[in-house]
C-alpha cells in the first residue's frame, strides 16, 4: 500500500506496566449518565434513553502532557469519566457477553467547550465543535481487566487546584457498562480499539490556564493534567 501523502500515526494509549500500546479506533461518549449531572444540566434523568456522541481518536491527549486551552471558547469544562477499552467488538452484543469484549479501564477527561455546546443545543446543531476539538480527550494509561476486574463501584472525583469539584460513585451510573456496550453495538459495529467514555458525575465547571485538574476512579487510577 502506498499513500499520496503520509498517513497520520495511529492514536494509541499506553498500558500500565507494559511496553505495548493500545491502538485507539473510535471514542464513544455517553451523555448524562449520572442522575445528579443530568439534573445539573437541566434534564430529567428518569425519562431518557441513553445517547452517545463521538470524539475523533486523535483527540486523545496522553496523561502527563499539558492540556492546551482550545481556541473559540471562553468556557472550557472538565468532565471526569471512567474509560472502557474494548479488545474485540461485534454487532448486537448481548449484555451478558459485553464484559468479555473489555480489555481494560482507564481515566479520561471529556473536555467540553460548554459555550459552543450551549449554542449548538439552542440551535439544534451537532456537538462536534463542542466535544471533538484537538486534545479534548486527556486519558491515562489503561489497566487490563485481568488485573483489576470489572469495576462497578468506587469513588469518582475531580479536584481543580486541590479543591473538590466533581464527586460521584461508579455505582450511580444510570446505564451500566454492559448496557452501554450492548446499546452502542446495536447502532454501530464495535471493534477492538474502540473506547467508551462512561459519563461524568455532577460538578462540571470551567478551567483556566494554569489550573491543575487531578481526579480519579477508586480502584482504577488517577489522572493529573495542567491547563496551559
Footprint of Mn ion on this chain (CB under 5 A)?
A: 79, 110, 200
Please, what sign has the CA dihedral across residues 18, 134, 111, 99? negative
The nearest distance, CB 197 to Mn ion, in angstroms, is 6
The nearest distance, CB 79 to Mn ion, in angstroms, is 4
How far, in whole angstroms, is CA 29 from its chain's centroid?
6
Which DSSP symbol is given to 6? Answer: P
The nearest distance, CB 126 to Mn ion, in angstroms, is 16
The nearest distance, CB 224 to Mn ion, in angstroms, is 19
Cβ closest to Mn ion, residue 98 vs residue 158: 158
Cβ closest to Mn ion, residue 15 vs residue 223: 223
The nearest distance, CB 180 to Mn ion, in angstroms, is 12
Cβ closest to Mn ion, residue 79 vs residue 194: 79
Longest dimension (CA), the chain: 52
Distance (Å, whole) CA 17 – CA 56? 26
The nearest distance, CB 174 to Mn ion, in angstroms, is 13
Residue of closest CB approach to Mn ion: 110
Residues 107-146: b if buried by 16+ CB within 10 A, e if exposed:
bbbbbbbbbbbeebeeeeeebebbbbbebbbbbbbbbbbe
Distance (Å, whole) CA 39 – CA 21? 37
Q: Do 104 and 145 contact (CB within 8 A), yes or no?
A: yes
Cβ closest to Mn ion, residue 15 vs residue 156: 156
Q: Who's near 228: CB < 8 A, 6+ residues apart?
A: 66, 67, 68, 69, 209, 210
Cβ closest to Mn ion, residue 15 vs residue 216: 216
Residue carrying the nine cell digits 471512567: 82
Cβ closest to Mn ion, residue 15 vs residue 176: 176
Amino acid at each position: 500500500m502506498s499513500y499520496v501523502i503520509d498517513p497520520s500515526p495511529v492514536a494509541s494509549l499506553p498500558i500500565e506496566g507494559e511496553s505495548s500500546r493500545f491502538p485507539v479506533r473510535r471514542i464513544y461518549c455517553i451523555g448524562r449518565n449520572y442522575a445528579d449531572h443530568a439534573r445539573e444540566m437541566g434534564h430529567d434523568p428518569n425519562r431518557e434513553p441513553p445517547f452517545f456522541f463521538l470524539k475523533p481518536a486523535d483527540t486523545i491527549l496522553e496523561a502527563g502532557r499539558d492540556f492546551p486551552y482550545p481556541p473559540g471558547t471562553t468556557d472550557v469544562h472538565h468532565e471526569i469519566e471512567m474509560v472502557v477499552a474494548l479488545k474485540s467488538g461485534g454487532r448486537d452484543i448481548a449484555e451478558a457477553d459485553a464484559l468479555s469484549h473489555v480489555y481494560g479501564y482507564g481515566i479520561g477527561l471529556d473536555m467540553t467547550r460548554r459555550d459552543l455546546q450551549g449554542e449548538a443545543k439552542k440551535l439544534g446543531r451537532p456537538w462536534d465543535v463542542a466535544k471533538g476539538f484537538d486534545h479534548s480527550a486527556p486519558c491515562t494509561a489503561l489497566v487490563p481487566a485481568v488485573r483489576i476486574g470489572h469495576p462497578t463501584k468506587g469513588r469518582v472525583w475531580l479536584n481543580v487546584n486541590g479543591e473538590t469539584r466533581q464527586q460521584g460513585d461508579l455505582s450511580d451510573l444510570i446505564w451500566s457498562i454492559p448496557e452501554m456496550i450492548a446499546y452502542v453495538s446495536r447502532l454501530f459495529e464495535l471493534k477492538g480499539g474502540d473506547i467508551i467514555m462512561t459519563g461524568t458525575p455532577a460538578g462540571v465547571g470551567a478551567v483556566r490556564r494554569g489550573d491543575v485538574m487531578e481526579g480519579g476512579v477508586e480502584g482504577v487510577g488517577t489522572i493529573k493534567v495542567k491547563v496551559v
